[in-house]
């Protein structure tokens, strides 16, 4: 297994530690784990492209690892009232629609790459979560909410863009 794929796996392995720290109220530890895991997302892609280590495993598991990390955090935050449930429903709906479209396209031998707006959405989510985890002082919570709203807007925009650009999937 190459280094980028190991970094992707490490992001998935970090999730239970983040969850444990968050649930125990160990916000600094949860913040650190989340930030380190998020950094692996940036690193694995850079290393894979630079060293020509792009694999099918990485193409599938890298975005999945991101989703596991971010949506685990959002689920915890819905449970404690930090994030409204309706926001998570919108975010997850977009993910399921995109995943379904990718599956249909893949069944026809078509690979649909992630768009820039989807990447921006992920970055905004990965900024919002640690800010919301810290939640102190109030300015940090406010910044977290601003990034959460920006991520929500980009979720809708990227989802609409994805559906429009790949509308041929609906006729397959």
The reported pTM is 0.90
Q: What is the pLDDT of residue 81?
A: 94
Low-confidence ranges of the chain (pLDDT < 70): none
User: Phi and psi dihedrals of 24, rounded to 5?
Assistant: -85, 0
Structure tokens at 145: 């909410």
Structure tokens at 143: 């910044």
Q: What is the pLDDT of residue 169?
A: 86
Q: What is the pLDDT of residue 9?
A: 96
Residue written as tokens 């768009």?
115
Structure tokens at 168: 């041929």
Q: What is the pLDDT of residue 111?
A: 77
Domains of the chain, start order: 3-171 (1.20.120.1760)
Q: Which helix (H) or strand (E) holds 42?
A: helix 27-50
The gap between the terminal CA atoms of the chain, to the nearest Å, is: 35
Question: CA 39, CA 117: separation in Å to the nearest integer?
Answer: 19
Q: Identify the three-state secondary structure at position 12.
A: helix
């Amino acid at each position: 297994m190459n280094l980028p794929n190991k970094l992707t796996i490490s992001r998935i392995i970090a999730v239970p530690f983040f969850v444990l720290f968050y649930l125990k109220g160990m916000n600094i530890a949860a913040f650190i784990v989340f930030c380190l895991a998020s950094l692996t997302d940036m690193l694995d892609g850079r290393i894979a492209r630079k060293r020509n280590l792009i694999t099918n495993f990485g193409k599938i598991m890298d975005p999945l690892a991101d989703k596991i990390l971010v949506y685990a955090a959002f689920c915890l935050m819905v449970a404690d009232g930090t994030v409204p449930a309706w926001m998570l429903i919108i975010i997850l709906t977009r993910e399921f629609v995109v995943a379904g479209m990718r599956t249909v396209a893949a069944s026809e031998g078509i690979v649909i790459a992630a768009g820039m707006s989807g990447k921006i959405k992920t970055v905004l989510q990965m900024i919002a979560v640690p800010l919301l985890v810290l939640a102190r002082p109030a300015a940090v919570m406010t910044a977290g909410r601003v990034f959460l709203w920006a991520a929500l807007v980009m979720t809708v925009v990227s989802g609409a863009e994805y559906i429009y650009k790949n509308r041929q999937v609906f006729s397959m």
